[in-house]
Amino acid sequence: MAEAETKSIDNATIKMIEKAAADGVNTAFDRAETMKPCPIGSVGSCCSNCGQGPCRVPLPKGKEETPEERKKRKGVCGATAETIAARNFIRMIASGAAAHSDHGRAVAELFIAAAKGEASGYKITDEQKLLQLALDLGVKIGDRSNNEIALDIGQIALAEFGRQEGELLFLKRAPLKRQELWRKQGVAPRGIDREIVEIMHRTHMGVDQDYKNLLKQGTRAALADGWGGSMIATELQDILFGTPTPVLGQVNLGVLKENEVNLIIHGHEPLLSEMIVAAALDPEMVELAKSKGARGINLAGMCCTANEILMRHGVPLAGNFLQQELAIVTGVVDAMVVDVQCIMQSLPDIAQCYHTKIITTSPKAKITDAIHIEFDEHKAVESAKEVVRTAIENFPKRGKNICIPKEKTDLIAGFSHETINYLLGGLFRASYRPLNDNIINGRIRGVAGVVGCNNARSIHNEAHNAMVKELIKNDVLVLQTGCSAMASAMAGLMVPEAAAKYAGEGLAEVCETVGIPPVLHMGACVDNSRILIAATAMVKDGGLGDDISDLPVAGAAPEWMSEKAISIGQYFVASGVFTVFGVTWPTLGSKEVTDFLFKEMEEIYGGMWAFEPDPIKAAHLMIEHIDKKRKALGIDKARERILYDMEMRRELEAV
Ligand code: BF8
Ligand code: SF4
């Protein structure tokens, strides 16, 4: 069916969209056709922050606005289009920062419970990282036990959420110049919760009505996400569950198995999924599965939970955001267990057409018509077993209407900051030096973080793949997280062989020498904090300036949709990174707000936003920015030289 081919570039996805249509199942792809975005709300020009509205303040169509007309474009309370757009934008940041940070809080709470011995099944796995964090946070080590040290760390981390004064401790990990800039600008976050609450206060009717001042608070809350909540989540998860190291995995709906119980773990927090991974290996569970006629239990991940359990256990990835409904359409998913974030409410509806059980687990995220098995970290093993048992018992109820797409692709994941450091530098002198050297000598032009979601308003995975291929072709090393990472993995970009096939000569040469793919999977969205740490490590290693904004780096989310993506983008920009988003831009209803984000932020923070829906053009904006930074560093000539060398080499080879 030609129509499905206009919705995704991935064959497994296309097949399942077709099957959904044949089965009479309505998916996000259909709903995106019938529900068009509101042209006023989508550009930030609709305010519903009080009962006098919603007030709409759209730009006049097709003509320049006179100053008089401009003055009349106000909400009932007098709020201008700038105030309305800025308020809407920073409320997105508040929600995104809250999502990541509440995740971080849950990890900190579990960390404390584990340290106290009150959470059976959880333990300190990465002792080295525990001790490193203790040093960073000034926690006494001496001859204290790991649990004693962990308890102090957990309590310090948890206190960061409610901190009322001072600034977040992890800000000290940023380059010194950046820290000073944040302080000078007054955006160094105090407590994580405090900054989010302050957004909600300031955007209440009749409070902060200066768009620049509103955006400044948005920056403060976003930094509290990246250098606070998200970083706490990543660090403590690594200590509890292990810091990722290179691991072979597989991705796409083809990882589902006809003869086994298929249990999909979907959502974000690895607290539950880690336990489910353990429960699925339990001989008692495996026996139970066999007694029901299955050959075993096949776990697969969806969305960021998938990334978490892939990075640490090699559990296969069933798919990214827009494939969640389609996994059920295969007819072989016996249960899908979800926790928080990016979970479509349509899942139970679709499940009714097949036999799949949808299980919610978080008291924060229930779905009408789903089964709820509350996850209690104090009884985690039992909760996890109950979930696995529910899937097993549902296996015999599978219908005949099943189809598993054959597509599945290999990938190497597990590129934490520590792993990159180790792989580049070797066991005895782990460092970013070889990366910096290869950037300075021009083999690697720069580094790009390509992250974020799928969006039903754009062709599934198309922009991710086009952008990433264009970047590596131009010798830009790509770091990835979230659904974007999965899109690249599906396209075969995350195996070492991809270097020779897709990367420019300089990048390919480095990848082949070190033995890494040209596109590195760094984890879930919350792990974008790893990219901040990697960028800081590049600064600290020397030769590339003294701040993140000096580095030849850029960021992008070509298919973004979630509010978390906006928070991530804002903390990257405020950390000094040029960041380009695709699909749509939520402040286009106000020229002033958009100009501030796209231009003025560069003057203040050295990083700025851009909006470019064409992924190739967007990739070239990133490359231009990288080249601009290379020039400022005085290393642009080195690259010309190396390319010349290669040209000469080719000529010699041709002789
Ligand atoms: O945190 S990339 S669609 S799954 S929001 Fe969601 Fe976007 Fe995927 Fe993970 Ni991130
Ligand atoms: Fe309208 Fe002002 Fe109320 Fe917003 S806060 S809905 S602009 S009256």
- Residues 541-575 pLDDT 10s: 999 999 999 999 999 999 999 999 999 999 999 99
Which of 40, 48, 52 for mutating ligand 2's site (highest number of atoms within 8 Å of CB)? 52
Closest CA to 481 of 556, 567, 581: 556
Grade residue 655 by pLDDT with cuts at 50, 70 and 90.
Answer: low
Ligand 1 center to residue 430 CA distance, Å?
A: 31
653, pLDDT greater than 70: no
Q: Do 44 and 587 form a contact (C-beta atoms < 8 A)?
A: yes
426, pLDDT greater than 70: no
Please write the tens of the pLDDT for every residue from 575-601: 999 999 999 999 999 999 999 999 999
The pLDDT assigned to 648 comes to 67
Ligand 1, atom 10, lies closest to the CA of 525
Give the pLDDT mean for 616-644.
90
The pLDDT assigned to 637 comes to 83
- The atom of ligand 1 lying closest to the CA of 451 is 2
Which of 268, 522, 525 for mutating ligand 1's site (highest number of atoms within 8 Å of CB)? 525
Which of 46, 55, 211 for mutating ligand 2's site (highest number of atoms within 8 Å of CB)? 55
Give residue for tokens 């020779």: 500
Number of Cβ atoms within 10 Å of the Cβ of 159:
12
Which of 453, 486, 522 for mutating ligand 1's site (highest number of atoms within 8 Å of CB)? 453
Please write the tens of the pLDDT for every residue from 312-346: 999 999 999 999 999 999 999 999 999 999 999 99
The pLDDT assigned to 325 comes to 98
289, pLDDT greater than 60: yes
Order of strands across the sheet that contains 609-611: 519-521, 476-480, 446-450, 553-557, 578-581, 609-611
Please write the tens of the pLDDT for every residue from 118-143: 988 899 999 999 999 999 999 999 99
**Using omega within 30 degrees of 0 as the cis cutoff, is the peptide bond preceding 60 cis?**
no
Q: Do 379 and 361 form a contact (C-beta atoms < 8 A)?
A: no
The pLDDT assigned to 5 comes to 85
Which of 103, 237, 269, 342 for mutating ligand 1's site (highest number of atoms within 8 Å of CB)? 342
Give the pLDDT mean for 166-178.
96
Q: Do 461 and 8 form a contact (C-beta atoms < 8 A)?
A: yes
CA separation for the pair 518, 507 (Å, rounded): 7
The pLDDT assigned to 472 comes to 97
Ligand 2, atom 3, lies closest to the CA of 50
Ligand 1 center to residue 484 CA distance, Å?
A: 9
Q: Do 137 and 232 form a contact (C-beta atoms < 8 A)?
A: no
CA separation for the pair 618, 626 (Å, rounded): 12
Number of Cβ atoms within 10 Å of the Cβ of 635:
17
First to last CA, the chain: 50
2, pLDDT greater than 80: no
298 forms beta bridges with 262
Ligand 1 center to residue 426 CA distance, Å?
A: 33
- The atom of ligand 1 lying closest to the CA of 560 is 7
651, pLDDT greater than 70: no
Residue percentage of the chain with pLDDT more than 90? 89
Number of Cβ atoms within 10 Å of the Cβ of 367:
18
427, pLDDT greater than 90: no
Ligand 1 center to residue 268 CA distance, Å?
A: 8
DSSP 3-state helix, strand, coil percentages of the chain (rounded to 5)?
55, 10, 35
622, pLDDT greater than 80: yes
The pLDDT assigned to 71 comes to 83
- The atom of ligand 2 lying closest to the CA of 206 is 5
Give the pLDDT mean for 148-155.
97
Q: Using a 6 Å CB cutoff, which residues line ligand 2?
A: 47-50, 52-55, 75-77, 79, 84, 205
The DSSP H or E segment spanning 266 is strand 261-266
Q: Do 106 and 269 form a contact (C-beta atoms < 8 A)?
A: yes
CA separation for the pair 86, 298 (Å, rounded): 46
Give residue for tokens 């016996």: 334
| DSSP H helical ranges for 396-432 | 417-425
Q: Using a 6 Å CB cutoff, which residues line ligand 1?
A: 268, 303-304, 321, 342, 452-453, 482-483, 524-525, 562, 564-565
Provide φ and ψ at 348, rounded to 5°.
-60, -35
Give residue for tokens 């990075």: 311
Give the pLDDT mean for 9-36.
96
Q: Do 406 and 397 form a contact (C-beta atoms < 8 A)?
A: no
Ligand 2 center to residue 204 CA distance, Å?
A: 9
The pLDDT assigned to 429 comes to 66
- The atom of ligand 2 lying closest to the CA of 87 is 4
The pLDDT assigned to 67 comes to 84
Ligand nearest to the CA of 481: 1
Torsion 87-91-92-93 (CA) sign: positive
Average pLDDT in the chain: 94
Grade residue 423 by pLDDT with cuts at 50, 70 and 90.
Answer: confident
CA separation for the pair 30, 51 (Å, rounded): 33
CA separation for the pair 111, 240 (Å, rounded): 7
Grade residue 1 by pLDDT with cuts at 50, 70 and 90.
Answer: very low
- The atom of ligand 1 lying closest to the CA of 526 is 1
Ligand 2 center to residue 10 CA distance, Å?
A: 43
Please write the tens of the pLDDT for every residue from 180-222: 999 999 999 999 999 999 999 999 999 999 999 999 999 999 9
Ligand nearest to the CA of 342: 1
Ligand nearest to the CA of 307: 1
Q: Do 468 and 519 form a contact (C-beta atoms < 8 A)?
A: yes
Please write the tens of the pLDDT for every residue from 220-262: 999 999 999 999 999 999 999 999 999 999 999 999 999 999 9
CA separation for the pair 342, 103 (Å, rounded): 13
**CA 34 distance to own-chain centroid:** 28
Amino acid at 337: V
- 446 CB-side CA count, 13 A: 31
Amino acid at 6: T
Least confident residue range of 3-7, 501-505, 510-514: 3-7
